[in-house]
Structure 1
Amino acid sequence: MRTILHSDLNNFYASVETLRHPEFRDKPLAVFGSIEDRHGIVLAKNNLAKAFGVKTGDVYWQAKQKCPDLQEVQADFSAYYDVSSQISEIYEQYTDKIEPFGIDECWLDVSGCVKYFGGGRKIAELISEEIKRKFGLTVSVGISWNKIFAKLGSDMKKPDAITEITKENYRTLIWKLPAENLLYVGRATKEKLNKYNIFTIGDIAAADEKFLCDKLGKWGEYLFRYANGFDDSPVAPKSADKTVKSVGNSLTSYRDLTNFEEVKLLLILLGESVAARVRQGHYGKAHTVKVSVTDSFLATHGKQERLSVPIKNAKEICERACRLFSEFYDWSAPVRAVGVSVSDFANEGEDLFDFAPSAQKNEKLDEAVYKLKEKYGHNCLQRAEILKDKRFFDMDVTGGHLVFSDDKKDER
């Protein structure tokens, strides 16, 4: 039987900032994306800020309203990645099967060394003690025979705790938890489950699998397996193949967006950013375009489209993204953040016969724009409509993310 750990660094951003700014140690502290504008939401907070009701996702003025004495720090991701990388070296003392789940969480498959170190709990204790000694940070660790239950274990007790989920105790510990505690069950899925009197993880486990598949599609099968402890997905080793599966980028607006024309500006910025990344990486043309949205309640929504003819130029990506957004988003809440990604890259030579004049024209235009931006900076040339909002025009959208394996996200 496998031994899987899930390590979750407690209040990671805020904890790192407290180490960098000892003067904030005994004060409520929040880390923001930006302090100058509301492109700045709360990304992390310490326990003192949490006691005042400050929540991740609060906008700047909301957080300050809840806690007038709140100390604010602007996020420094380079510092967080540096600490995260150093902590990874501790994990590597026990296994090379380390799968990140964000900058501050990861799974470790330590099955190969449990006998040598005396069991999964002993390894968790050693990791926790070394992180505390070297970095002054605390970690919550879940231990189980599968990734899903290990993640639930790390979430059950915080901060600075170790929780073991076994085949003997999981029904008692796990099945009583709310359904939304299960990984990948978001607000929309929770509401669907509740409609059918499914409120706990145990209710999911006891439900008819075919019924769940009928109501939730493929996610019904996943959730049934997860709730019953049947997850057998491997922890990806650090040496795993790094073939790029998708290229994407996302932006959080400095204010809530309330109509399509406002969202369109972000979609244009993101589409052009993604097109530049695809061209820079020589990934070729993509068969799939995906749009994701986070609303003002922090619920996520998304839709993707599989294209018969692959694309890679900015104009086509932007147009597809705008159309997708219009098709799925119902404006039940304002929009806070938007993401665009492309995937399923065409095999070499698959698009050799795309001789349409419009395609060739767009390709030449894209290449010319890309070379200008490469030489003079991303913002040297922008579409005129972006000038409708000066702050969008000034945004740095050159960042992005690469996905190296299939994502499983709860989108609605």
Structure 2
Amino acid sequence: MLLKKMEKMDRVILHSDMNSFYANVECLYHPELQGLPVAVGGNPENRHGIILAKNQLAKEAQVKTGEALWEARVKCPNLIIIEPNFERYLKFAKMARKIYYRYSDLVEPFGLDEAWIDVTGSIHRYGTGEEIAGKISWSIQSELGLTVSIGVSWNKIFAKFGSDYKKPDAITVITRENYQSIVWKRDAGELLYVGRSTRKKLMKFGIFTIGDLAKASLDFLKCQLGKMGVVLWHFANGLDDSPVKWFDENYNGNERIIKSIGNSTTTPRDIENIKDVKLVIYMLTESVAMRLREACCFCQTVAIHIRTKELISFTRQAKLTKPSDLTNEIAEAAIELFTKNYDFSSPIRSMGVRASDLVPDSVPIQLDLFGFEEDRVRLGRLDTTIDGIRKRYGNHSVRRAVTMGDSMSSLDPKKDNIIHPLGYF
């Protein structure tokens, strides 16, 4: 009888979201900014001129994440804008996760400032999910000087909804008894993974709220949205059973779960010729390949992401003939993808290179009798040697000739790499 009760017991999942993370971290380092509207934004000279984060006062002035700096200044003339310091934010993110690890080893980051925590196995020791959330909130505020909003529920989707429901510095509990009165009344766009285009499609079908989505015909949603329609219907009905994935940021072995490694950049000028494309691709690939080697991984697929001056984006990918972490092979595959899929009908504003389908670098690789295996070994040794020099003297200490003598050569994708949220699926 006890076993049956345990099997039916709901999980206890928390989702912690650090409030105005980048901006509040900067305010800790700049106490003179307390009481002023502050935003973290890119450098307008390098065309990274958008708002990345803002504090509560800037939010109250209607400053929005993602809008241009000039637009934010029109709304809030006294807005203080600080350039981002991602090393600083990573440091605080790691300290926050150490606090989460006090209550569970099942911690799944969702970007730098968010994480799911499965505390199902800890409630007998630390109290209810709401009580654990309160302890985490107090610890982060007293030890780090920051605040968090935490959602508590029996699944990841509603826990995430709860952390967004009240901000800042709040705890929201979503239960089987109250989710219809809280979650179902909200706009469908507030459900995780309902983006702008999906929300517009749903509105065309008369689906405006999460409740409408939950009550819609599953067959109809599948017909209109495909597999994603089924997924969203399950999410809206609280039927998400996806686990909180174990993630150990201090473990460097082959068992660490990484799905892909990539870098992208907005270039200082529009790109209008293949010479500049090759320059940017090699700079991005240097970073991607080095990070692959640091993670002890090979990639089997290479993808490029292109965004034009008109902000139209597209992605293309291709399989490699064999798993690789070689800079040359990845860069050549990316260049080939570009030449086959773009004609410069519009100048390019930003580019990205991504390595995916990762496997451990210990995986056996079929040798090619008529290939250039000795050359591949030499290239691998060269990459490893260059990695060592760059780690000691900086990423610009050794550079490819193709990346020199140009205004874009000052870009350092490896150093400026931003850690993006881990994919949910």
- Tell me what 1:289 maps to: 302
Hey, what's the Cα distance between the residues in 2 that align with 1:191 and 1:11? 28
Hey, what's the Cα distance between the residues in 2 that align with 1:44 and 1:299? 24
Hey, what's the Cα distance between the residues in 1 that align with 2:53 and 2:419? 24
- Tell me what 2:6 maps to: none
1:375 aligns with 2:393: no
Deviation at 1:207, TM superposition (A): 3.1
Q: What's the CA shift string for 1:11-44, capped at 9, x where partnerless?
A: 0111111122111011111123447633353221
- Tell me what 1:219 maps to: 228
1:76 aligns with 2:91: no
Inter-CA distance 361–238: structure 2 relative to 1 (3 Å threshold): closer
1:250 aligns with 2:263: yes
SS of the counterpart of 1:249? Answer: strand
Hey, what's the Cα distance between the residues in 1 that align with 2:371 and 2:334? 22
Hey, what's the Cα distance between the residues in 2 that align with 1:268 and 1:216? 38
- Tell me what 2:4 maps to: none
Alignment equivalent of 1:350, drawn from 362, 365, 379: 365
Tell me if structure 1 keeps the 8 A contact 2:14–2:150.
yes
Aligned residues: 404
CA RMSD after TM alignment: 3.7
Hey, what's the Cα distance between the residues in 2 that align with 1:65 and 1:44? 17
Hey, what's the Cα distance between the residues in 1 that align with 2:32 and 2:223? 55
- Tell me what 1:112 maps to: 121
- Tell me what 2:192 maps to: 183
Hey, what's the Cα distance between the residues in 2 that align with 1:192 and 1:264? 38
Q: What's the CA shift string for 1:287-309, capped at 9, x where partnerless?
A: 22233467889998645444564
Tell me if structure 2 keeps the 8 A contact 1:291–1:341.
no
Counterpart AA for 2:413:
V
SS of the counterpart of 1:233? Answer: coil
Q: What's the CA shift string for 1:135-190, capped at 9, x where partnerless?
A: 33221111110001000011011111111111122122212322222222223333
Alignment equivalent of 1:267, drawn from 275, 278, 281: 281
1:136 aligns with 2:151: no
Instruction: Flag as ranges the 4+ runs of structure 1 deviating above 6 A.
Output: 294-300, 328-334
Tell me if structure 1 keeps the 8 A contact 2:263–2:287.
no
Hey, what's the Cα distance between the residues in 1 that align with 2:272 and 2:245? 41
Deviation at 1:387, TM superposition (A): 5.3
Alignment equivalent of 1:8, drawn from 17, 27, 30: 17
Hey, what's the Cα distance between the residues in 2 that align with 1:4 and 1:150? 6
Structure 1: state its 5+ residue gaps.
Answer: none
* Identical positions, percent: 40
Hey, what's the Cα distance between the residues in 2 that align with 1:401 and 1:116? 37
- Tell me what 1:38 maps to: 47
SS of the counterpart of 2:77? Answer: coil
Inter-CA distance 354–107: structure 2 relative to 1 (3 Å threshold): farther
- The TM-score normalised by the length of structure 2 is 0.79
Q: How does 1:395-410 map to 2 (within 5 A)?
A: 395-399=411-415, 407-408=423-424
Inter-CA distance 89–373: structure 2 relative to 1 (3 Å threshold): closer
SS of the counterpart of 1:88? Answer: helix
Alignment equivalent of 1:173, drawn from 182, 205, 209: 182
Hey, what's the Cα distance between the residues in 2 that align with 1:20 and 1:63? 23
Hey, what's the Cα distance between the residues in 2 that align with 1:260 and 1:97? 48
Hey, what's the Cα distance between the residues in 1 that align with 2:190 and 2:210? 8
